[in-house]
């Protein structure tokens, strides 16, 4: 071929590609479409959307383009509609929930939506049969636990938390997460000793699913590199398989203990006792129950950490909460029965969650059908992002939104004030818990746990800046430093937990010794009764003969392990999806 022919061909190709780019550019920036930042072919707006503190950039765009409560953007071909106004969220995610309740794929997880039957992560599942039955099960278990007064577990762990803070205050961040984890492990498997691994496992999954986690969540084509060149896929395979095996081990252990009548009421036992279920088998059961334990760790630890930060920066509100608790509870830590008489505590908790929301970007839904909203076309497959940071900083609803103002929940005249104060403020129904068919199932549990934990902290300690022993200066507690995972928490910082008096310190330690001794005694009595063949008679304690009690356990467990291996292999074959 002559040089001139090659030259001409190159010119034609470049011209064709340029025309194609121009056409794409025009389509992406259609003046009749939703407003939004200028989009560039293929890239969308990936080049200037920071991974760190992504919600701040989304909010900056909201202020510029979101006057109608929503705007559009794209990232490497993925279409987003960012929702910045509660009314629009209500219209799109609640009123049109029927076709706006799917989830987007998370690239760095195998089969995150369970479209191929992995059945593993309820909050990330598409709107499919697994999601539907697992949501029902999760909802009924949490509701039943609430009705059965699970609060005893919270009081017990809050007392352990206080004692740990007295004995080793510098390790407070670990104790805080461990408290949330122990509560979930007790409710799920009746075993608080599992907490450390459960927390580790929870953070592993959270990192893997977050845009700020593996680079393959943003530069998604990298995920498709062959496994041999693909460190992300290999790491995820290891994480995934370990997590699933651990969940299955927990189920098998409970079944084994049930066979010997040695397990107290917990969600896993509840599941195994029930004959009829829509859950397909042990693999799915261990996943839905395991996921329930995990999800209650990283979510509740966020507002609890921000409670510490907030109280240090607002000693006037800390003092108000302490006064209220002292008046209402007469020298003992608050319980949930006191809650109607503790509006200041509830207002400070709610304002902490408004001021420092721990899921600031919100969780994306995905549309399942083309739609037209207020004259704007929203194609099928668009990710709808309810930007919680924007909802909670709406100055019309929250005047002076950048300031911590618990009085907005307590004094008539504020747009958010609601009576009766015995019931309001409540965090239930906050935008932070999401929307429509996908709304969070853990709102009551979160509210109860925060009242018990934050109330106990205010009863026992004054939360303060720590003083640098060398300089005598206060160590800073930053207000705006956090990680950027989907569920955030403040970066590590130092602080002091000053017992409110020697008497209270001694009382906090005594309360822990008392509850610990009682728990040890109850467990021993239960085991003793089980080993002597005594059948528990109350409703929650009646363990019926289960298949595990009939089939030799070793045989059964080997069969179940096989089921896990088969399922894990199936999931591994999704690696190329
Ligand atoms: C401060 C605490 C929490 C916050 C801010 C929070 C927030 C959220 C959000 C934003 C969603 C997604 C909603 C949507 O897609 O519209 C969600 C879903 C979910 N949450 Fe929570 N959550 C919290 C605590 C909990 C707890 C303690 C549990 C359980 C023990 C829990 C269980 C769930 C479950 C199972 C889902 C999935 C629902 C579904 O996809 O159908 N959450 N949560």
Best residue among 83, 433, 489 to mutate for probing ligand 1's pocket (most ligand atoms within 8 Å of CB) is 433
Query: What is the Cα–Cα distance from 282 to 296, expressed in whole angstroms?
Result: 22
DSSP string, 218-281: TSGGGGGS-GGG-HHHHHHHHHHHHHHHHHHHHHHHHHHHHHTT---S-HHHHHHH-S--SS-S
Q: Which helix (H) or strand (E) holds 149?
A: none
pLDDT tens track for 180-227:
999 999 999 999 999 999 999 999 999 999 999 999 999 999 999 998
- Distance from residue 439's CA to the centre of ligand 1 (Å): 7
Query: What is the Cα–Cα distance from 181 to 205, expressed in whole angstroms?
Result: 15
Phi and psi at 234, nearest 5°, equal -65, -45
Best residue among 138, 288, 392, 442 to mutate for probing ligand 1's pocket (most ligand atoms within 8 Å of CB) is 442
Please indicate if the annotation marks 440 as binding a ligand: yes
Query: What is the Cα–Cα distance from 467 to 475, expressed in whole angstroms?
Result: 6
Q: Is the confidence at residue 235, as pLDDT, over 70?
A: yes
Are the beta carbons of 69 and 87 closer than 8 angstroms?
yes
pLDDT tens track for 333-373:
999 999 999 999 999 999 999 999 999 999 999 999 999 99
3-state class of 367 per DSSP?
Answer: coil
Write down the mean pLDDT value for the chain: 92
Query: What is the Cα–Cα distance from 70 to 88, expressed in whole angstroms?
Result: 7
Query: What is the Cα–Cα distance from 172 to 564, expressed in whole angstroms?
Result: 37
Nearest CA to ligand 1 atom 41: 438
- Distance from residue 413's CA to the centre of ligand 1 (Å): 31
Question: Could you give the C-alpha distances from 562 to 239, 282, 546, 568, 569, in angstroms and in order?
Answer: 19, 11, 20, 10, 11
Under 8 Å CB-to-CB from 168, ≥6 apart: which residues? 175
**Residues linked to residue 83 through DSSP beta bridges, in sequence order:** 70, 386
Query: What is the Cα–Cα distance from 256 to 337, expressed in whole angstroms?
Result: 37
Under 8 Å CB-to-CB from 521, ≥6 apart: which residues? none
Are the beta carbons of 165 and 175 closer than 8 angstroms?
yes
Atom of ligand 1 nearest to the CA of 435: 16
pLDDT tens track for 50-97:
999 999 999 999 999 999 999 999 999 999 999 999 999 999 999 999
Are the beta carbons of 154 and 473 closer than 8 angstroms?
no
How does DSSP classify residue 100? S
Task: Output the pLDDT for position 147.
Answer: 83
Query: What is the Cα–Cα distance from 131 to 298, expressed in whole angstroms?
Result: 21
DSSP string, 63-78: HHH-TTSEEEEEETTE
- Distance from residue 136's CA to the centre of ligand 1 (Å): 14
3-state class of 498 per DSSP?
Answer: strand
- Distance from residue 292's CA to the centre of ligand 1 (Å): 10
- Distance from residue 432's CA to the centre of ligand 1 (Å): 9
3-state class of 470 per DSSP?
Answer: coil
**CA angle, 142 as apex, 137 and 143 as ends, to 5°?**
100
Pairing of strands 383-386, 78-83: parallel
Please compute the mean of the pLDDT values over residues 448-472 and round it to a whole number: 97
Report residue 537's pLDDT band, with 50, 70 and 90 as the boundaries. Answer: very low
- Distance from residue 477's CA to the centre of ligand 1 (Å): 28
Query: What is the Cα–Cα distance from 121 to 134, expressed in whole angstroms?
Result: 10
Task: Output the pLDDT for position 562.
Answer: 60
Angle between helices 443-460 and 282-313 (to 10 degrees): 40
Task: Output the pLDDT for position 542.
Answer: 30
Under 8 Å CB-to-CB from 534, ≥6 apart: which residues? none
Q: State the ipTM, two decimals.
A: 0.99
Report residue 547's pLDDT band, with 50, 70 and 90 as the boundaries. Answer: very low
Nearest CA to ligand 1 atom 19: 440
Q: Is the confidence at residue 383, as pLDDT, over 80?
A: yes
Query: What is the Cα–Cα distance from 380 to 552, expressed in whole angstroms?
Result: 51
Cis bond before residue 174 (omega within 30° of 0): no
Query: What is the Cα–Cα distance from 49 to 37, expressed in whole angstroms?
Result: 11
Pocket-forming residues, ligand 1, beta carbon under 6 Å: 122-123, 135, 138, 292, 295-296, 299-300, 302-303, 358-359, 363, 365, 432-435, 438-442, 445-446
Stated length of the chain = 577
Query: What is the Cα–Cα distance from 38 to 24, expressed in whole angstroms?
Result: 12
pTM reported for the whole predicted model: 0.93
Q: Is the confidence at residue 253, as pLDDT, over 50?
A: yes
Atom of ligand 1 nearest to the CA of 449: 27
* C-alpha closest to that of 365 among 86, 104, 80: 104
Query: What is the Cα–Cα distance from 441 to 288, expressed in whole angstroms?
Result: 13
Rama region for 506: left / alpha / beta (φ>0; ψ in -120 to 50; rest): alpha
Are the beta carbons of 73 and 39 closer than 8 angstroms?
yes
């Amino acid at each position: 071929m002559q040089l001139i022919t090659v030259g001409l061909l190159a010119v034609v190709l470049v011209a064709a590609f340029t025309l194609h780019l121009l056409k794409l550019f025009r389509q992406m920036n259609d003046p009749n479409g939703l407003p939004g930042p200028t989009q560039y072919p293929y890239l969308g707006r990936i080049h200037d959307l920071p991974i760190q503190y992504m919600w701040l950039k989304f909010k900056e765009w909201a202020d510029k383009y979101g006057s109608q409560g929503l705007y559009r953007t794209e990232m490497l071909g993925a279409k987003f509609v960012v929702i910045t106004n509660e009314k629009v969220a209500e219209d799109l995610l609640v009123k049109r929930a029927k076709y706006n309740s799917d989830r987007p794929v998370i690239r760095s997880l195998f089969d995150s939506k369970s479209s191929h039957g992995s059945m593993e992560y309820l909050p990330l599942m598409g709107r499919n049969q697994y999601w539907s039955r697992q949501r029902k099960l999760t909802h009924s278990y949490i509701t039943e636990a609430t009705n059965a007064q699970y609060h005893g577990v919270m009081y017990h762990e809050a007392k352990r938390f206080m004692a740990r803070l007295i004995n080793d205050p510098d390790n407070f961040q670990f104790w805080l997460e461990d408290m949330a984890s122990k509560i979930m492990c007790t409710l799920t498997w009746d075993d608080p000793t599992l907490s450390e691994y459960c927390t580790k496992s929870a953070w592993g999954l959270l990192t893997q699913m977050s845009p700020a986690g593996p680079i393959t969540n943003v530069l998604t084509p990298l995920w498709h590199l062959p496994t041999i060149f693909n460190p992300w896929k290999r790491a995820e395979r290891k994480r995934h398989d370990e997590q699933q095996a651990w969940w299955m081990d927990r189920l098998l252990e409970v079944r084994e203990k049930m066979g010997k009548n040695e397990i107290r009421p917990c969600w896993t036992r509840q599941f195994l006792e029930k004959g009829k279920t829509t859950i397909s088998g042990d693999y799915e059961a261990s996943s839905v129950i395991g996921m329930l334990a995990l999800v209650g760790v990283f979510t509740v630890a966020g507002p609890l950490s921000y409670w510490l930060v907030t109280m240090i920066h607002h000693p006037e509100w800390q003092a108000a909460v302490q006064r209220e608790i002292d008046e209402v509870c007469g020298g003992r830590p608050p319980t949930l029965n006191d809650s109607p008489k503790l509006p200041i505590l509830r207002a400070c908790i709610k304002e902490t969650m408004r001021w420092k929301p721990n899921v600031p970007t919100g969780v994306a839904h995905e549309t399942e059908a083309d739609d037209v909203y207020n004259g704007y076309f929203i194609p099928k497959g668009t990710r709808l992002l309810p930007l919680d940071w924007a909802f909670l900083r709406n100055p019309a609803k929250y005047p002076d939104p950048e300031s911590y103002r618990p009085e907005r929940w307590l004094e008539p005249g504020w747009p958010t004030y609601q009576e009766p104060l015995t019931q309001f403020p409540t965090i239930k129904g906050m935008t932070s818990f999401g929307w429509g068919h996908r709304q969070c199932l853990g709102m009551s549990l979160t509210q109860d746990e925060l009242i018990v934990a934050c109330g106990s902290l205010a009863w026992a300690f004054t939360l303060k800046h720590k003083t640098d022993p060398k300089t005598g200066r206060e160590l800073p507690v930053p207000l705006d430093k956090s990680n950027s995972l989907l569920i955030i928490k403040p970066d590590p910082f130092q602080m002091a937990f000053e017992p409110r008096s020697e008497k209270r310190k001694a009382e906090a330690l005594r309360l822990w010794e008392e509850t610990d001794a009682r728990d040890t005694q109850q467990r021993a009595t239960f085991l003793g009764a089980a080993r002597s063949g005594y059948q528990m008679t109350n409703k929650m304690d009646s363990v019926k003969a289960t298949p595990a009690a009939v089939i030799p356990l070793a045989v059964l467990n080997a069969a179940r392990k096989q089921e896990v291996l088969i399922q894990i292999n199936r999931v591994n074959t999704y690696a190329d999806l």
